[in-house]
Amino acid sequence: MNRPDRLEPGQAERLRAERDRDWRKALRRDISVQKRMAIDRQPMPEQEPWVRIKNFKEVNLGYTFDLARAEARRCLDCGQPGCVAGCPVAIDIPTFIKYIEAGEPEKALETIRRTNGLPAICGRVCPQEVQCEKECNLARAGREPVAIGHLERFVADYICLREGTGTAFHAGPGAPPRPEKIAVVGSGPGGLTAAADLARLGYRVTVFEALHLPGGVLAYGIPEFRLPREILESEINFIKTLGVEVRTNFIVGRTASLDDLRREGYAAFFLATGAGLPSFMNIPGENLLGVYSANEYLTRVNLMKGFRFPEFDTPVPGARKAAVIGGGNVAMDAVRTALRLGAGQATIYYRRSRAEMPARTEEVKHAGEEGIVFNFLTVPVRFLGNERGELRGMVLQRLALGEPDSSGRPRPVPIPGSEFEVEVDLAVVAIGQSPNPLLIRQLPDLKLGRWGNVEVNFQTMATSLPGIYAGGDVVRGGATVILAMGDGRRAARAIDEFLRTG
Ligand SMILES: Cc1cc2nc3c(=O)[nH]c(=O)nc-3n(C[C@H](O)[C@H](O)[C@H](O)COP(=O)(O)OP(=O)(O)OC[C@H]3O[C@@H](n4cnc5c(N)ncnc54)[C@H](O)[C@@H]3O)c2cc1C
């Protein structure tokens, strides 16, 4: 896939100008590089593992002001900040961190929000270790990188939650109003980002969401112990203050077609419908009671509040022994949810080794601390049921790592004769998902890729159909929040260009 330029037009100059400001120079003079490098990374305060496995409250408690300033002092304010280039939405990271050091979190948030409308979320869920923090010059010098994600989260929480309003910060006046209406389909991070940017450019934007709550995976996938719902609501409220209308319980392609919306005057479309169609293993026994896709399992718990059954009328299967198949964030969320719902044993079965697991490092660490068992290089080949059609166990096979496959990772190869049986009464399959075909199948001329994903020009996110743009997981398959946001940002710019130039 093409990688778009990360710096916004003019951003390199802006970064240089920001860095040359007097207060920044004074901070640099204040503490030497050697002293900054000697400061250890400030640990994130957390709920103790034995406490948190009994609740759904957030695991990370967030930096205090003092911790945040101490961590901000570690940033060297480099001349060539690798972190900015490592961030898919090119946040001016050194500037926001130096504002924290200077004790001005409001200005830090203002800086972040120039390029990121969802900082409290990104600070919590972005895989910083393979993005901004990986490119931190401290890490290159053999020290732990600056905790950029923790600092981003601190800034957003400090401002937005301090007064309990969630919308204490306003983006200031946007561009003059434009007459065109734009429809965004899907209210995940991709759709919300495009909507916010288009509203700032002066357009009238409506986000259409199939579910009863906005947020996409942020609402129905990621559990509250990683992303509290009041944080999500606060971010969505902020976007609404920009003038964005959000219409829930509206399935584009069923409640109304794209043509209906065109007739209602929508001049351009951004499809951000995600990848909500779960993949299955296609092995015997997969339809037994007690075998779930991660999508269904997490939706029952997160969106339909099944964990508060019978207060909320969505039963979630309790389990004595829960097995989750997969090694990504989805698998980590499912297994830690099963544990919190009372499973005596909760185990991950992953077909590669620890080194290839795509889940965020922090989630794997937290899962390990909570007592999740990891079984690497194993894959189920059959689910076993009892006479009532309920899951009672699985037959697994051991694997070895072979030559790299098309993803560049070593291919897992079955070891003959290595099958073994385990007892489980809940299995959650978290091996990936693909785009929901409902809407895109109604557009016969829309060019699709090999996996049913929408094909786009990655510079503009334009699809093969004029006026229709797409981004996020519907284009990339299961990707990340920040990549979806980056797509939304580029699409907004391109839609603006399209509407201005005809
Ligand atoms: C359990 C889980 C954990 C994850 N953890 C992380 C993480 O820690 N870090 C990270 O960066 N990424 C994580 N991801 C991936 C990340 O959440 C996604 O990459 C991101 O949400 C994709 O955003 P999106 O805007 O493309 O779509 P989504 O967030 O999938 O939202 C799409 C929305 O479109 C709606 N929709 C679909 N079709 C229609 C239609 N026809 N009409 C109206 N609405 C429609 C859907 O209901 C949905 O609300 C996780 C994913 C899951 C499932």
Would you tell me which CATH number, out of the four given (3.50.50.60, 3.60.120.10, 3.40.50.10490, 3.90.850.10), belongs to the domain 181-276+434-501? 3.50.50.60
The answer to whether residue 166 scores a pLDDT higher than 50 is: no
CA of 235 to the centre of ligand 1 (A): 16
Which residue pairs, CB below 8 angstroms and at least 24 apart, start in 495-501? 495/182, 495/194, 495/198, 495/203, 495/268, 495/270, 495/469, 496/198, 496/201, 496/203, 497/460, 498/268, 498/462, 498/467, 499/178, 499/180, 499/203, 499/267, 499/268
The pLDDT, as a whole number, for residue 168 is 37
- 52, containing H or E segment: helix 49-52
Mean per-residue pLDDT of the chain: 91
State residue 162's pLDDT score: 64
Residue 11 has pLDDT above 90, yes or no: no
Tell me if 381 sits within 8 A of 396, measured CB to CB.
yes
Mean pLDDT of 8-37: 87
* Pocket probe mutation, ligand 1, options 247, 273, 434, 483, max atoms within 8 Å of Cβ: 273
Q: Which two tokens stand for residue 121?
A: 């979320």
Share of the chain above pLDDT 90, in %: 78
Q: What is the pLDDT of residues 47-79, one digit of tens each?
A: 999 999 999 999 999 999 999 999 999 999 998
Residues ≥6 apart with Cβ < 8 Å to 3: 458
What's the pLDDT score for residue 413? 94
Q: Is 279 in the pocket of ligand 1 (CB under 6 A)?
A: no
Beta bridge partners of 348: 324, 374
3-state helix, strand, coil in the chain (%, to 5): 40, 20, 45
Gap between the terminal Cα atoms of the chain? 28
State which ligand 1 atom lies nearest to the alpha carbon of 192: 25
CA pair distance 474, 273, nearest whole angstrom:
6
Residue-range domain boundaries for the chain: 11-160, 181-276+434-501, 280-431
Q: Answer with the residue of higher pLDDT: 331 or 167.
A: 331
In the reported structure, the alpha carbon of residue 76 is separated from the centroid of ligand 1 by a whole-number distance in angstroms of 35
Domains 11-160 and 181-276+434-501 share a fold: no
Does domain 280-431 fall under CATH 1.20.140.10? My reply is no
The percentage of residues in the chain with a pLDDT greater than 70, rounded to a whole number, is 95
> Is residue 142 over pLDDT 80?
yes
Which strands sit side by side in the sheet containing 426-429, from one edge to the other?
291-293, 426-429, 321-325, 345-350, 373-376
Does domain 11-160 sit in CATH 1.10.1060.10?
Answer: yes
Ligand 1 binding pocket includes 242 (Cβ within 6 Å): no
pLDDT band for 159, please (50, 70, 90 cuts). Answer: confident
Residue 172 banded pLDDT, cuts 50, 70, 90: low
The pLDDT tens digits for 235-282 are 898 889 889 999 999 999 999 999 999 999 999 999 999 999 999 999
pLDDT grade, residue 306 (50/70/90)?
confident
What is the rounded CA–CA span in Å between residue 461 and residue 3?
12
Q: Burial level of 311, CB count in 10 A (0-12/13-18/19+)?
A: exposed
Mutate which of 192, 329, 468 for ligand 1? The one with the most ligand atoms within 8 Å of its CB, which is 329
- Whether 273 lines ligand 1, by a CB cut-off of 6 Å, is yes
Residue 221 has pLDDT above 90, yes or no: yes
Per-residue pLDDT at 360? 93
* Atom number in ligand 1 closest to CA 334: 1
Q: pLDDT tens digits for 261-271?
A: 999 999 999 99
Q: Give the least confident one: 13-17, 117-121, 124-128.
A: 13-17
Q: Which pLDDT score, from 0 to 100, does residue 270 have?
A: 98
- Give yes or no for residue 114 having a pLDDT over 90: no
- Pocket lining: 357 vs ligand 1, CB cutoff 6 Å: no
Query: Atom 41, ligand 1: which residue's CA is nearest?
Result: 252
Of the given ranges (93-102, 119-128, 312-321), which has the lowest mean pLDDT?
Answer: 312-321
Taking CA atoms only, the protein residue closest to ligand 1 atom 48 is 216
Say yes or no: CB of residue 364 within 6 Å of ligand 1: no
Mean pLDDT of all residues in 167-182: 71
Q: Alpha-carbon distance 348 to 101, whole Å?
A: 41
